[in-house]
C-alpha cells in the first residue's frame, strides 16, 4: 500500500545490448547491490525502470546532489500540529516495505551521506535510524542500485573503495549503431533513416571526446533532436539546439560539430 505510487504500471521500453537483463535478474535473485557504470544519457535509468517493471517491484529513485544529507535519504522528525513525528526518507521506505532503491549519480552526494548505505549492502541488510533509535531490517524484496559515471571522476569526487567493493557492477555505454537507431526512432518518432543519420553524427561527436569535449552526444540528446525534427525543425537546426550548443561553448569545437552535422544532413 505504502509503495503503490512507486509501482510502474506500463512497461518502460528497453532495447537490450547484451546479457544485461539476465545479469540483473541474477543479481536481484541473490539480492546483491548493483552499480551501473556509464556516461550520462546512455540508458541506465531506463534499464532500472524496465527491470523493476519486469520483476514486479516498486522503484524509488533518488537523484543525488552535493547538498543531500543522510536525513534526505533516511528521514527526519517533522513538526506537526500534534508535536513531532518521524517521516521515513526514500531509502527507509524502500528498505522497510521492499522496493528497489535507485541512487542516481551517487558520487554527487557527500561521502558522509554515502556511508549510510554500508550496513545495507553487506550481509546485515540493516539500516540504523540513529535519530529515531530504530534498526530497520531490510524487507526481503529490497535491493539497492546506484549509478556512477566514471568519466566525471576526480580524486576528490570518487566513491570510497569500501563503498565500491560492496557492489556488483555492470558497464553501460552507448548502444551499438543499429540498436541506438531503433531507440532514437521509437523514442522520438522519426523515421529509421533519419535516426540513423543522428546516430552517425553522435558517433563523430563521441570521437571528439578528450579533445575538448568532456562527453559526446548521448542517446538522450539524439532523442531530443529527433523530437525537434518531429516538430518541423530541420536536421541542422535540431542538431544545433539539441546536440551542439548544450555540450560546448568553444567556437572551434562548435564548428567541428557543425561540419559533422553537415556531412550527414
Binding site for ligand ADP (CB under 6 A): 13-15, 38, 40-46, 175, 183, 187, 219-220, 223
Q: Looking at the DSSP assignment, which residues form a beta bridge with residue 61?
A: 102
All residues at 6 or more sequence positions from 183 whose CB lies less than 8 Å from its CB, including other chains? 15, 43, 175, 219, 223
* Torsional sign, CA 225, 229, 233, 236: positive
Contact criterion met (CB below 8 Å) for 235 and 265: yes
The residue count for the chain: 265
Nearer to ligand ADP, 39 or 90 (CB): 39
Nearer to ligand ADP, 14 or 24 (CB): 14
Q: Computed over its alpha carbons, how large is the radius of gyration of the chain?
A: 21
User: DSSP for 105-145?
Assistant: TGGGS-HHHHGGGGGGSSTT-EEEETTTTEEEEPPTT-EEE
Instruction: Please state the closest distance from residue 38 (CB atom) to ligand ADP, in A.
Output: 6
Nearer to ligand ADP, 183 or 256 (CB): 183
Instruction: Please state the closest distance from residue 136 (CB atom) to ligand ADP, in A.
Output: 28
Q: Which position's Cβ is nearest ligand ADP?
A: 43
Nearer to ligand ADP, 38 or 75 (CB): 38
Instruction: Please state the closest distance from residue 184 (CB atom) to ligand ADP, in A.
Output: 8
Instruction: Please state the closest distance from residue 101 (CB atom) to ligand ADP, in A.
Output: 15
Instruction: Please state the closest distance from residue 194 (CB atom) to ligand ADP, in A.
Output: 16
Instruction: Please state the closest distance from residue 36 (CB atom) to ligand ADP, in A.
Output: 8
Contact criterion met (CB below 8 Å) for 184 and 190: yes
Nearer to ligand ADP, 145 or 256 (CB): 145
Nearer to ligand ADP, 88 or 187 (CB): 187
CA atoms within 13 Å, Cβ hemisphere of 56: 1
Closest C-alpha among 212, 208, 192, 202 to residue 238: 202
Amino acid at each position: 500500500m505504502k509503495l503503490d505510487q512507486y509501482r510502474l504500471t506500463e512497461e518502460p521500453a528497453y532495447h537490450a545490448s547484451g546479457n544485461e537483463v539476465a545479469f540483473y535478474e541474477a543479481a536481484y535473485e541473490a539480492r546483491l547491490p548493483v552499480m551501473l557504470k556509464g556516461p550520462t544519457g546512455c540508458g541506465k535509468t531506463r534499464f532500472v525502470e524496465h527491470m523493476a517493471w519486469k520483476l514486479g517491484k516498486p522503484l524509488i529513485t533518488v537523484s543525488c546532489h552535493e547538498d543531500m544529507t543522510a536525513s534526505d535519504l533516511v528521514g527526519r522528525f517533522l513538526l506537526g500540529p500534534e508535536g513531532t513525528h518521524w517521516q521515513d526518507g526514500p531509502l527507509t521506505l524502500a528498505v522497510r516495505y521492499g522496493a528497489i532503491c535507485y541512487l542516481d549519480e551517487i558520487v554527487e552526494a557527500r561521502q558522509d551521506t554515502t556511508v549510510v548505505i554500508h550496513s545495507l549492502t553487506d550481509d546485515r541488510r540493516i539500516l540504523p535510524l540513529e535519530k529515531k533509535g530504530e534498526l530497520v531490517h531490510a524487507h526481503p524484496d529490497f535491493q539497492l542500485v546506484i549509478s556512477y559515471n566514471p568519466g566525471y571522476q576526480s580524486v576528490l569526487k570518487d566513491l570510497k573503495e569500501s563503498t565500491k567493493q560492496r557492489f556488483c557492477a555492470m558497464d553501460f555505454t552507448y548502444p551499438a549503431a543499429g540498436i541506438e537507431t531503433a531507440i532514437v526512432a521509437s523514442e522520438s518518432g522519426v523515421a529509421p533513416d533519419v535516426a540513423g543519420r543522428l546516430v552517425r553524427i553522435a558517433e563523430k561527436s563521441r570521437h571528439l571526446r578528450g579533445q575538448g569535449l568532456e562527453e559526446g552526444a548521448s542517446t538522450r540528446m539524439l532523442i531530443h533532436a529527433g523530437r525537434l525534427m518531429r516538430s518541423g525543425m530541420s536536421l541542422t537546426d535540431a542538431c544545433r539546439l539539441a546536440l551542439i550548443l548544450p555540450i560546448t561553448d568553444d567556437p572551434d569545437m562548435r564548428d567541428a560539430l557543425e561540419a559533422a552535422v553537415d556531412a550527414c544532413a
